[in-house]
Amino acid sequence: MESSSFRDCEAWRAEGLPLSTSSNEACKLYDAILTQYVTWRNIGSVGGLEGCFSAIKAADPNFVMGHVMSTGMELMGTASSPRLNQRLASAVKKTVELATCQNITQREKLHVKAMELFSLGYLKGLYSFGLMETRFYDQAEKVAMEGLALVPDDAWSVHSVAHVYEMKAEADKGLKFMESREKDWRVSDMLASHNYWHWALYFIEKGQYEAALQIFDSEIFKRCKATGSMLDVVDSSSLLSRLEMEGVCVKDRWREMLQVTLPHTDDHVTLFNDLHFLMASLGAKETGASQRLLEGLQELAKTPGDNYQHELAGPVGVPVCQALMEYQGGNYGQAVELMYPVRYRMVEMGGSDAQRDVFNQLLIHAALKSDDKHHQRLGRCLLVEREALRPNSPLTDRLMRRAMALHS
Ligand SMILES: [Fe+2]
C-alpha cells in the first residue's frame, strides 16, 4: 500500500471522524497504524508498526490518538503490566494528561478512557467474561486472574472466575475463591448480590442447602428488597426455584419474593425477567398473577411490532412460561413437550449460561418425573449430556441416582 493513500486531516474529517491534530503526517501515520493492525502485517514502506509509533510522536508529540494507539497496542499486544513496567505506566499517565489539557472530541476521550481502563486491568474482566461465555474456560480464568493481579477489587473479574468454576462444576474451588476475596468484591454494591448468588450455587451443587438458604436470607434477598435491582430479583427467584427442584422447602420466601415481583407482572420488558417473575407467582401459588403474566405476553406476541422480545415471545417465551406452569401443576409430560422443542432457542432470551441453567434443570426434572417412558429416557440422555459438559457434578450425580431409583 502506498503511503500517499493514507488519509490526512481533511480526509478524516470527511469520514466524520475528525482527529485532534493539525499534522497531516500524524493523521496519515494514524491511518497506517490502523491499516497494519487490521491486516496483521507490517508495511515496510512506512517502517512497520514500530516505525509508525516513533514517527507519529515525532510528527506531533501532543497528538492524543497517536499516544492512544502506541500505548494501547503495547498494553494489549505485550500484556506488559504498568504495575511492573514504569515506562509503560508513565506512557499511560502522559496520554491521560494530554487528553485532559486539550479540547479533543468525545470519541477521542472514550478511546483514552478505554486505554486507561485496560491499563488498570478492568477490561481483562470484561474480556474474560466473553471468553467464558464462549466456553474458553481455562483462558477466561487466566485472563481474569491477570485482571485481579492488577485490580484485586475488580468484582467483574471475580464474577468471571466464579462463572468458570460454576461451568466446570468445581464447587470447592469456587467456594474457596469467593471466600478468600469476599472483602474485596463485596464493596461493589451493584454486583455483590450476584456474586453471592454464585457463591450460593456452589452450595446447591454440593447439596448444602441450608448454607445456600443462609446466603439467600442474609445477602441476596436482603439486597433485592432494598434495591429492587432486576439482577437481584432474577437471582432471588432463580435460587429459590433451584432449591425447590432439589426438594428443599423454602417456606414463605416465595410470598416475600412476590411482593417484589408483583408490580412487574405487566412490564414485559424482557422474557428472561418475565420468566423469573413467573417463578415467584407460581412459587407463591398466586394463580391470578401467573395467568395474567402469561396472557399479557400472549397478547403482545400477537402484535410484536419491532420489539424483539415480543417477537420472541410467541416462539420461545410463551411456551417456556407454559412449561413452568405445567410443571408447577404436576403435568410434567406436558412441560417436556413445551420446553424440549425450544431448548436451543432459550439462549435468545439472554442471560448467561449459568443463569439459564435453571431451565435446563427444570427440563430434566420434568422429563424424569413424567409418566411417559420416552420422556424418562430423554431425561437420562439429558443427564448424560450434562455430565459430559460439566463432569463430576454432584448435582448431576444426585439426579442420575434419582432417575435410577424412579425408573428401574
Ligand atoms: Fe453471573
- Compute, in angstroms, the gap from residue 365 CA to the centroid of ligand 1: 23
7 residue type, one letter: R
Find how far residue 260's CA is from the centre of its chain.
23
- Compute, in angstroms, the gap from residue 354 CA to the centroid of ligand 1: 7
CA distance readout (Å), 222 to 196, 203, 210, 227, 342: 12, 19, 17, 9, 34
pLDDT tens digits, one per residue of 322-364:
999 999 999 999 999 999 999 999 999 999 999 999 999 999 9
Measured from the Cβ of residue 177, the count of other Cβ atoms closer than 10 Å reads 21
Give me the DSSP letters along 243-284. Answer: HHHTT---TTHHHHHHHHHGGGTTT-S-HHHHHHHHHHHHHT
Residues with Cβ within 8 Å of 102's Cβ and at least 6 positions away in sequence, in order, are 20, 62, 64
Q: What pLDDT, on a 0 to 100 scale, did the predictor assign at position 2?
A: 58
- Compute, in angstroms, the gap from residue 60 CA to the centroid of ligand 1: 45
- Compute, in angstroms, the gap from residue 317 CA to the centroid of ligand 1: 21
C-alpha cell belonging to residue 225: 428488597
- Compute, in angstroms, the gap from residue 53 CA to the centroid of ligand 1: 39
Q: What pLDDT, on a 0 to 100 scale, did the predictor assign at position 120?
A: 81
Cβ-defined contacts of 168-176 (< 8 Å, 24+): 168/137, 168/390, 169/205, 169/390, 169/391, 169/392, 169/393, 169/394, 169/395, 169/396, 171/202, 171/203, 171/205, 171/206, 171/394, 172/202, 172/206, 174/198, 174/199, 174/202, 175/199, 175/202, 175/203
C-alpha cell belonging to residue 301: 406476541
- Compute, in angstroms, the gap from residue 191 CA to the centroid of ligand 1: 9
- Compute, in angstroms, the gap from residue 372 CA to the centroid of ligand 1: 35
- Compute, in angstroms, the gap from residue 374 CA to the centroid of ligand 1: 34
- Compute, in angstroms, the gap from residue 180 CA to the centroid of ligand 1: 18
Q: What pLDDT, on a 0 to 100 scale, did the predictor assign at position 196?
A: 98
Q: Is the dihedral of CA 332, 336, 337, 339 positive or negative?
A: positive
- Compute, in angstroms, the gap from residue 39 CA to the centroid of ligand 1: 35
The phi, psi pair for 54, rounded to 5°, reads: -70, -45
- Compute, in angstroms, the gap from residue 189 CA to the centroid of ligand 1: 15
- Compute, in angstroms, the gap from residue 165 CA to the centroid of ligand 1: 11
- Compute, in angstroms, the gap from residue 307 CA to the centroid of ligand 1: 26
- Compute, in angstroms, the gap from residue 5 CA to the centroid of ligand 1: 47
Q: How far apart are the first and last CA of the chain?
A: 71
- Compute, in angstroms, the gap from residue 156 CA to the centroid of ligand 1: 9
- Compute, in angstroms, the gap from residue 25 CA to the centroid of ligand 1: 47
- Compute, in angstroms, the gap from residue 308 CA to the centroid of ligand 1: 23
- Compute, in angstroms, the gap from residue 208 CA to the centroid of ligand 1: 20
125 residue type, one letter: G
**Radius of gyration of the chain measured on its C-alpha atoms:** 26
- Compute, in angstroms, the gap from residue 20 CA to the centroid of ligand 1: 40
Q: Is the dihedral of CA 205, 209, 214, 219 positive or negative?
A: positive
DSSP H helices, 246-389, are 253-261, 271-283, 287-302, 308-312, 318-328, 332-339, 353-369, 373-389
- Helices 373-389, 394-407: axis angle to 10 degrees equals 160
- Compute, in angstroms, the gap from residue 32 CA to the centroid of ligand 1: 40
Q: What pLDDT, on a 0 to 100 scale, did the predictor assign at position 282?
A: 98
Report how far residue 374's alpha carbon sits from residue 380's, in angstroms, rounded to the nearest whole number: 10
Q: What pLDDT, on a 0 to 100 scale, did the predictor assign at position 270?
A: 95
If the chain, 408 residues long, is cut into consecutive pieces of 10 residues, what is the mean pLDDT of each piece? 81 97 97 91 92 96 97 80 86 96 96 89 90 96 93 92 98 98 92 96 98 98 93 97 97 96 95 97 98 98 94 97 98 98 96 98 98 97 97 97 89
Report how far residue 77's alpha carbon sits from residue 75's, in angstroms, rounded to the nearest whole number: 6
In terms of Cα–Cα distance, which of 296, 292, 216, 287 is closest to 256?
216
- Compute, in angstroms, the gap from residue 160 CA to the centroid of ligand 1: 7
- Compute, in angstroms, the gap from residue 10 CA to the centroid of ligand 1: 46
- Compute, in angstroms, the gap from residue 158 CA to the centroid of ligand 1: 10
- Compute, in angstroms, the gap from residue 233 CA to the centroid of ligand 1: 13
CA distance readout (Å), 157 to 328, 329, 342, 358: 37, 40, 32, 23
Residue with cell 424412579: 406
Q: For the whole model, what pTM was predicted?
A: 0.82
Longest CA span, the chain = 80
Residue with cell 454494591: 189
48: phi > 0 → left, psi -120 to 50 → alpha, else beta; which?
left
